[in-house]
Amino acid sequence: MKLASYNINGISARLPRLLDWLAEAEPDAVALQEIKCETDRFPAAALKEAGWHALVHGQKGFNGVAILSRQPVAEVRRGLPGDDSDEQSRYIEAMVGDVLLAGLYLPNGNPLPGPKFDYKLSWMARLEARAAELMERDTPVVLAGDWNVCPTDHDAARPDMMRGDALFQPESRAAFRRILSQGWTDAIRAARPYADCYTYWDYQAGAWPKNWGLRIDHILLSPAAADRMTDCGIDRETRGAERASDHVPVWVVIS
DNA sequence: ATGGTCGGGAACCGA
């Protein structure tokens, strides 16, 4: 089974590119981030026409996540537990076959210091708690999304330009490492330890043609899922399309 | 060069 993550930066602007990629890549399920629309404004009919079921956790204007699947899937939860006052739509879980797929859009956290960075760290603490619960399951678990954390300097083309960014802060990296240390495998980095594995290139300053990228979209696998991974990849060519997202799809194949 | 470019939604905010 092929599972993917794709921050599409607006479903309305990106629907043609998304449909192109779905037809080409043929995932069984994909976690989408930054759909930037309310749940009832998601283009479910157009996707259904193309053969895709959708679970949507939307929000007007910002954020918003969804899980698309070839077969109908059972929603496990929407929203990250731990703060009932959190109104941002950033988290959804579903069973895809016997695999629990969690789709997440971790807060950016800029600027810092300030309330946005505090929210990022508190959200990561809540994610750490949920990940620990999921790790207790017998079934394979896949945590896929835009983590908005650049785990090491090797995951950036120009790390020294990013020192003040929330994605690079020691606190952000430590929180990501604490989750990994529960026993998760960072699929892409485990498979390609020394490669350039960027998943995001800023729209500004010609970042894409200069390959000034970051690796911030990650797929974490529980031990049961990691044992069954047969392939993984990054569809970086999608970044070169007209009206591309600033992120590209990341995927794993689980036998 | 203290810039640059997108998306959402209709003036700025978020990234």
Q: In which order are the strands placed within the sheet that holds A91-96?
A: A74-78, A91-96, A99-105, A141-146, A217-221, A185-186
**Does residue A12 lie within 7 Å of nucleic acid chain B, judged by its CB?**
yes
**Does residue A178 lie within 7 Å of nucleic acid chain B, judged by its CB?**
no
At residue A192, what is the residue type? R
Which of these is catalytic: A6, A28, A146, A246? A146
Q: How far is the CA of A37 from the C1' of B10 (A)?
A: 16
At residue A148, what is the residue type? N
**Does residue A241 lie within 7 Å of nucleic acid chain B, judged by its CB?**
no
Active site residue A146: yes
Give residue A207's pLDDT: 98
**Does residue A110 lie within 7 Å of nucleic acid chain B, judged by its CB?**
yes
Nucleotides of B under 7 A from a protein CB: 4-9, 14-15
Residue nearest to nucleotide B1 (CA to C1'): A205
Residue nearest to nucleotide B3 (CA to C1'): A205
Place of tokens 């990994």: A180
A214 close to A198: Cβ distance less than 8 angstroms: yes
Q: How far is the CA of A205 from the C1' of B1 (A)?
A: 11
Exposed/middle/buried for residue A209 (C-beta within 10 Å: 0-12, 13-18, 19+)? exposed
**Does residue A62 lie within 7 Å of nucleic acid chain B, judged by its CB?**
yes
Which of these is catalytic: A6, A91, A105, A198? A105
Give residue A130's pLDDT: 98
| E strand map for A70-160 | 74-78, 91-96, 99-105, 141-146
**Does residue A13 lie within 7 Å of nucleic acid chain B, judged by its CB?**
yes
Domains of chain A, residue spans: 2-254
Token pair for residue A243? 């009206």
CATH superfamily, domain at A2-254: Endonuclease/exonuclease/phosphatase (3.60.10.10)
Neighbours of A220 (CB within 10 A): 26
Active site residue A91: no
Neighbours of A121 (CB within 10 A): 18
A67 close to A109: Cβ distance less than 8 angstroms: no
Give residue A117's pLDDT: 98
Instruction: Render pLDDT for A206-224 as a digit per residue (tens, 0 to 9).
Output: 999 999 999 999 999 999 9
With a cut of 50, which residues of chain A have pLDDT below it? none
